[in-house]
Amino acid sequence: MTVMAKPEQTSARTMVSAPALSPATIAKPDLISVEQAKAMDVAVMTDLFKAHLNPGQLHFMKLLGFHKIKIERAEGMFYIDQNGRKILDFFGGFGSLAFGHNHPRILEARKKFQEEKRQEIAIAFMSQYAAALAHNIAKCSPGDLDMVFLGSSGSEAMEAAVKLAERAAGPKRPKIVYAENSFHGKTKGVLGITDGQLYRADFKMADNTVRIPFADIEAVERLFRSDPEVGVIVLETIQGGGGIIQAPAEYWQNLRALCNQYGVLWVADEVQCGYGRSGRFYAFEHYGVIPDVTALAKSLGAGKAAVGAMIARREVYMKAYGTPKTAMIHAMATFGGMGEACVTSIEGLNVLYDEGLIDNAAVTGDYLLQRLQALKDKYPKIIKDVRGKGFMVGLEFHDFSQTLPMVLRPIVSVLDDKLKGSLSGFVGALLLRDYDVLVAFTEYNRNVIRLEPPLICQREHVDRFVDAFDSLLSRGIVSIVKDFVKSQVR
């Protein structure tokens, strides 16, 4: 009998030998150390930013002169750059620096937490720090706003707020109302109620939203009356990205009454205007009303941690997530309620009241507005409006053509739309270059300079800022433009 050998079978798959299980075989990448990062110069920073972060953004940083500065440290109201230059911070991280930079009590609380090797992530257990922070936030909140969700950002807090309100409103009332020129975040959910085409781009938005004018109570009433599917309305108490826009007290009082009448839940976005910035803990407290849900972030992390919070009325919260079956639908995420972040926020809230910073925002903020109003009167052809509350202030310029000599206005006016924001940019860049002052801008009305200094700001800082601003405007618009152009070719 002939025995046939079984032919060898080959596989089309490429076989790769497994590496030896030894750390020595894994080469360390070319990583930058902490000390090397600290010593990095501006040129290397620029190269890495362009290579790995946001090349397009670098264009705008160069226009404003921000790309030439390396911040070595920061303290109180000031940044200190690589040359030892102290830059007065009237930007305040879009309202994230209530306590200025590196407040000693905040640093000490964080240092002690680290030295004691306290728990950071305690997802499996209850955290005394998260519980204490939630208690403190509830105590700072009026009425029955006492149920707290902790997150890491304003967008996350607003996502939680909108989800909770939509769920509490119920499936028969799915529509969410938002305002023109609103900004509630860039994450996908709240992007649908953020009124900015730049941010929306070509993303597909949720189809259950309705847009109305801001501060138009008649529009609100018509919508509530005509559409029984409306369940939620979401509004910034003071519009930040819209150019520091407020509504009168009667608007908020009537809004509260209409929400009660039609059973609509009101979500107040206080991410930027809250935490004492307006001269009250929440900006809506100026009007004697309380929303159903609100949100905080920015300075809630005391300038040293990323912390956001949604705060809801217990009745609304329990309707959405009040049973064991529904409790985990939107429970705290991995980094919501981290130990050191909570300790930072706990200490921050105590400092806020111990140092009277809310009162300071009201009093010194009023002084800032008075001094800026005097500048408006001095330069009526340049400054169109000064507005705001506390340390949330907008300074709006006229369209570019209106600031020029009469003979040039008809020629330039056809370019006003394209030139929007140019004067704000020129002024912001020259304030930084020539006066060591940092200011911010707004997303939608590009003619507005946004001022959100830390709540520790004193009159001396206001005087320094306003005097610098006055000195710059005294050059005249033509000279300001020439000086800016020169700065771009140096």
Alpha carbon 189 to its chain centroid, in Å, reads 16
Alpha carbon 47 to its chain centroid, in Å, reads 27
Q: Do 306 and 349 fall within a single domain?
A: yes
Q: Indicate whether 155 belongs to any domain.
A: yes
- What would the pLDDT profile of 183-207 be if each residue is shown by its tens digit? 999 999 999 999 989 999 999 999 9
Distance separating alpha carbons of residues 335 and 306, to the nearest angstrom: 9
Q: Which of 354, 381, 406 is the last residue of a domain?
A: 354
Q: Indicate whether 464 belongs to any domain.
A: no
The predicted model scores a pTM of: 0.91
Domain that holds residue 335: 104-354
Helix (H) or strand (E) segment spanning residue 181: none
Q: Do 342 and 366 fall within a single domain?
A: no
Tokens matching residue 305:
């941690």
Nearest to 347 by CA among 113, 47, 2: 113
Tokens matching residue 2:
């002939």
Q: Indicate whether 249 belongs to any domain.
A: yes
Q: Indicate whether 49 belongs to any domain.
A: no
Q: Do 317 and 385 fall within a single domain?
A: no
Three-class SS of residue 446? Answer: coil
Q: Any idea what DSSP says for residue 344?
A: H
236 residue type, one letter: E
Q: Which residues contact 269 (CB under 8 A, 6 or more apart)?
A: 158, 161, 182, 184, 234, 235, 236, 237, 294, 295
Q: Do 229 and 342 fall within a single domain?
A: yes
| H helical segments located in 357-421 | 357-378, 409-413, 416-419
Distance separating alpha carbons of residues 430 and 418, to the nearest angstrom: 21
Nearest to 365 by CA among 426, 286, 445: 286
Q: What is the pLDDT of residue 122?
A: 75
Q: Do 225 and 344 fall within a single domain?
A: yes
C-alpha torsion sign, points 388, 393, 395, 396: negative
Q: Indicate whether 298 belongs to any domain.
A: yes
Distance separating alpha carbons of residues 201 and 181, to the nearest angstrom: 15
Distance separating alpha carbons of residues 362 and 434, to the nearest angstrom: 29
Q: Which of 366, 389, 412 is the last residue of a domain?
A: 389
136 residue type, one letter: N
Q: What is the pLDDT of residue 4?
A: 45
Q: Which residues contact 132 (CB under 8 A, 6 or more apart)?
A: 342, 346
Q: What is the average pLDDT value for the chain, to the nearest integer?
A: 92
For the chain, the domain total comes to 2
Nearest to 108 by CA among 277, 275, 302, 297: 302
Residues 397-413: what's their mean pLDDT?
A: 69
Q: Indicate whether 31 belongs to any domain.
A: no
Burial string for 322-341 (b: 16+ CB within 10 Å, else e) reads eeeeeeeebebeebbbbbbb
Q: Which of 328, 354, 380 is the last residue of a domain?
A: 354
- What would the pLDDT profile of 56-80 be if each residue is shown by its tens digit? 998 888 888 888 899 999 999 999 9
Q: Which of 302-316, 317-331, 396-410, 444-458 shows the lowest mean pLDDT across its residues?
A: 396-410
Q: Backbone phi, then psi, for 176, in 5-degree steps?
A: -120, 125
Q: Do 191 and 153 fall within a single domain?
A: yes
Residues 218-224: what's their mean pLDDT?
A: 98
Distance separating alpha carbons of residues 225 and 263, to the nearest angstrom: 11
Give the C-alpha distances (Å, rounded to integers) separating 266 from 43, 188, 236, 426, 436.
49, 21, 11, 39, 42
Q: What is the CATH number of the domain that holds 334?
A: 3.40.640.10
Q: Do 375 and 263 fall within a single domain?
A: no
C-alpha torsion sign, points 463, 465, 466, 472: positive
Query: Is residue 97 within 8 Å of residue 454, measured between CB atoms?
Result: yes
- What would the pLDDT profile of 166-187 be if each residue is shown by its tens digit? 999 999 999 999 999 999 999 9
Q: Indicate whether 335 belongs to any domain.
A: yes
Q: Do 328 and 231 fall within a single domain?
A: yes
Q: Do 381 and 347 fall within a single domain?
A: no
**335 pLDDT higher than 60:** yes
Tokens matching residue 311:
């705060």
Q: Do 264 and 376 fall within a single domain?
A: no
Q: Do 350 and 364 fall within a single domain?
A: no
Distance separating alpha carbons of residues 176 and 161, to the nearest angstrom: 12
Q: Do 213 and 296 fall within a single domain?
A: yes
- What would the pLDDT profile of 226-264 be if each residue is shown by its tens digit? 999 999 999 999 999 999 999 999 999 999 999 999 999
Tokens matching residue 425:
């940019």
Q: What is the pLDDT of residue 90?
A: 98
Query: Is residue 257 within 8 Å of residue 233, measured between CB atoms?
Result: no
| H helical segments located in 195-262 | 197-200, 217-226, 249-262
Q: Indicate whether 337 belongs to any domain.
A: yes
Q: What is the pLDDT of residue 447?
A: 93
